[in-house]
Amino acid sequence: MNTGIGLAELREALIYLIVIVASLALHEWGHAYTADRLGDPTPRSQGRVTLNPWPHIDVLGTIIIPFLGAIGFFGGLGMIGWAKPVWTNPSYFRRRNHDSMMVTLAGPGINLILAVVATVLAALSHRFLPSLTPLLRLAMSVNIGLMVFNMLPIPPLDGSKFLMYWCGMREETYVRFSKWGPLVLILIINLRDGRALLRTIYNMGALPFEALYRVLT
């Protein structure tokens, strides 16, 4: 555990926290908004079709763990943050499988849009307002990370649901499989080979954004 926290480190941790909270909240809003548009009233009844971040925040997973991680509290131990999941009822969808897939993709899709916007703004700031570039680069990397990480086929991440959509896994089987998902994720991010794999996947996902950044600068 790193206890040598100065004002500069605290400021950086708070900036990171703001970016991650906003990005996670918009990710969950994407799920809720899409489900609402496709006819499922469940997210709206739970107050989730809103850009207000608070209904999407899980205090432990969205604030405490990311902040502690940012200040080095966990040392070399990898931890995962999360927001409140958006609950949906697929029986409301006209095209159940297709619409469920669209709702699933909406969260990472929002992170994709945010990453593109942050990349463009970071490139422009590099030219005209360099002081903002580190913040925008942070927003860029956070949203690339959320987009890529959430598409991994491991429960409870969004990508795992494609085991049902594309691979024909029964919902009951998926629910049983999901019980082991968080443990698998913790193991992956704390094993050297797992971290190396995640870093490689992130770097591959970041390639088009870095290329766009270089073109615009």
DSSP per-residue string spanning 6-28: -HHHHHHHHHHHHHHHHHHHHHH
193's CB contacts (< 8 A; 6+ apart) are none
- Burial status of residue 146 (CB atoms within 10 A of its CB: 0-12, 13-18, 19 or more): buried
State the pLDDT at residue 4.
Answer: 64
pLDDT (tens digit per residue) in 59-113: 999 999 999 999 989 888 888 889 999 999 999 999 999 999 999 999 999 999 9
State the pLDDT at residue 24.
Answer: 97
| CA pair distance 49, 11, nearest whole angstrom | 31
State the pLDDT at residue 169.
Answer: 85
State the pLDDT at residue 83.
Answer: 96
Domain boundaries, the chain: 7-216
Closest CA to 48 of 58, 163, 5: 58
Q: Is 28 a catalytic residue?
A: yes
- Residue of 12, 28, 172, 210 with catalytic role: 28
- What's the pLDDT band for 25 if we cut at 50, 70, 90? very high
Global pTM exceeds 0.85: yes
pLDDT (tens digit per residue) in 127-174: 999 999 999 999 999 999 999 999 999 998 999 998 888 888 888 888
Q: Is residue 94 a contact partner of residue 159, using CB atoms and an 8 Å limit?
A: no
- Report the SS3 class of residue 111: helix
pLDDT (tens digit per residue) in 185-196: 999 999 999 999
State the pLDDT at residue 174.
Answer: 86
State the pLDDT at residue 57.
Answer: 97
Q: Give, in order, the Cα–Cα distances in Å from 25 to each of 49, 53, 172, 176.
A: 11, 5, 28, 27
State the pLDDT at residue 203.
Answer: 97
